[in-house]
């Protein structure tokens, strides 16, 4: 499906409209992504239309699922090549974005991308969520934490919820396993200060199947002992 048709599909199916200027910035990002990918492994998808369908459109679904406040502080946990965080910023320039990534080579790519694309109020942060979650500059400072293709939900909530302020949200981008993951993670969500969990779903155009957004509201302060030390949330997820 041509890129223009994908943009039309996005507008028709979820009510989002990408301007020509925004599409131009996204295309510049894709060009940089693919050029860098020849040296640094950033994405397994190397065809422009596929990137639009599987990465760009997928990233933007959040704006149909959740009312993200103007000027919100957003952290993308385990951002990798900047998806979804950079795409959210291009679509909503008012957002203040932190891109958290544990691999330094990817952080260097993110810094280059932010500079070349002329994006403002984007912090590229090198570190692990288990450490950043205890840092006074980041702990419970965000209106929204997002994560895509990082970890099972019962691990992911321990990375994300300590970063979210009370009355904020975390959103996990998931595939068909998302519904079952939400059931398994219910206990962990409660322990970490999460409350109501909503599962939003949408069919991606051109036969790519359903996408699920797991939306968790933060209703109380996360206990100070969480997140646990690096590696523990993945090895021993909360129950």
Q: Which of 53, 60, 50 is nearest to 22 (CA)?
A: 60
Q: Does the CA dihedral 203-205-209-214 come out positive or negative? A: negative
Q: Is the pLDDT of residue 209 over 80?
A: no
Q: How high is the pLDDT of residue 162?
A: 98
Q: Residue 119 class from Cβ within 10 Å (0-12 exposed, 13-18 middle, 19+ buried)?
A: middle
In degrees to the nearest 10, what's the CA dihedral of 125, 42, 56, 207? -140
Mean pLDDT within 32-46 = 90
Cα Dmax for the chain: 49
**Total structural domains within the chain:** 1
Mean pLDDT within 31-55 = 88
Q: How high is the pLDDT of residue 72?
A: 98
CB 204 within 8 A of CB 211: yes
Lowest-confidence pick of 56-60, 117-121, 156-160, 229-233: 56-60
Q: How high is the pLDDT of residue 89?
A: 98
**Residue 10: which domain range?**
3-235
Q: How high is the pLDDT of residue 98?
A: 98
Structure tokens at 7: 């943009």
Mean pLDDT within 5-14 = 66
Q: Is the pLDDT of residue 43 over 80?
A: yes
Q: How high is the pLDDT of residue 18?
A: 87
Q: Domain containing 52 — which CATH number? A: 3.40.50.150
Q: Is the pLDDT of residue 215 over 60?
A: yes
Rounded to an integer, what distance in angstroms lies between the CA atom of residue 76 and that of residue 156? 12
Q: Would you place residue 129 in the very low, low, confident or very high pLDDT band (cuts 50, 70, 90)?
A: very high
Structure tokens at 179: 């519904």
pLDDT tens, 158-205?
999 999 999 999 999 998 899 999 999 999 999 999 999 999 998 765
User: 193 — alpha (psi -120 to 50), left (phi > 0) or beta?
Assistant: left
Q: How high is the pLDDT of residue 94?
A: 98
Q: What is the mean pLDDT of the chain?
A: 92
Q: Does the CA dihedral 31-35-38-43 come out positive or negative? A: negative
Rounded to an integer, what distance in angstroms lies between the CA atom of residue 173 and that of residue 104? 23
Pairing state of beta strands 142-148 and 164-174?
parallel
Q: Would you place residue 3 in the very low, low, confident or very high pLDDT band (cuts 50, 70, 90)?
A: low
Q: Is the pLDDT of residue 1 over 70?
A: no
Q: Is the pLDDT of residue 44 over 90?
A: no
DSSP state of 51: H
């Amino acid at each position: 499906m041509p890129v223009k048709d994908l943009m039309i599909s996005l507008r028709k199916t979820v009510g989002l409209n990408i301007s020509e200027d925004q599409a131009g910035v996204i295309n510049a990002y894709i060009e940089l992504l693919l050029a860098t990918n020849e040296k640094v492994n950033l994405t397994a998808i190397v065809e422009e239309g596929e990137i639009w369908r599987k990465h760009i459109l997928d990233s933007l679904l959040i704006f149909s699922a959740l009312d993200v406040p103007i000027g919100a502080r957003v952290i993308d946990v385990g951002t990798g090549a900047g998806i979804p965080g950079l795409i959210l910023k291009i679509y909503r320039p008012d957002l203040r974005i932190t891109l958290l990534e544990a691999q330094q080579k990817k952080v260097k790519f993110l810094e280059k991308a932010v500079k070349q694309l002329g994006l403002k109020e984007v912090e590229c942060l090198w570190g692990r969520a288990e450490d950043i979650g205890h840092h006074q500059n980041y702990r419970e400072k965000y209106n929204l934490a997002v994560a895509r293709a990082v970890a099972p939900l019962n691990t992911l909530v321990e990375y994300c919820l300590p970063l979210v302020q009370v009355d904020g949200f975390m959103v996990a981008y998931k595939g068909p396993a998302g519904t079952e993951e939400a059931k398994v993670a219910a206990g962990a969500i409660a322990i970490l200060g999460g409350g109501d969990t909503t599962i939003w779903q949408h069919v991606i155009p051109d036969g790519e199947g359903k996408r699920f957004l797991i939306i968790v509201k933060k209703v109380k302060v996360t206990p100070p002992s969480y997140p646990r030390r690096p590696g523990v949330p993945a090895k021993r997820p909360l129950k």
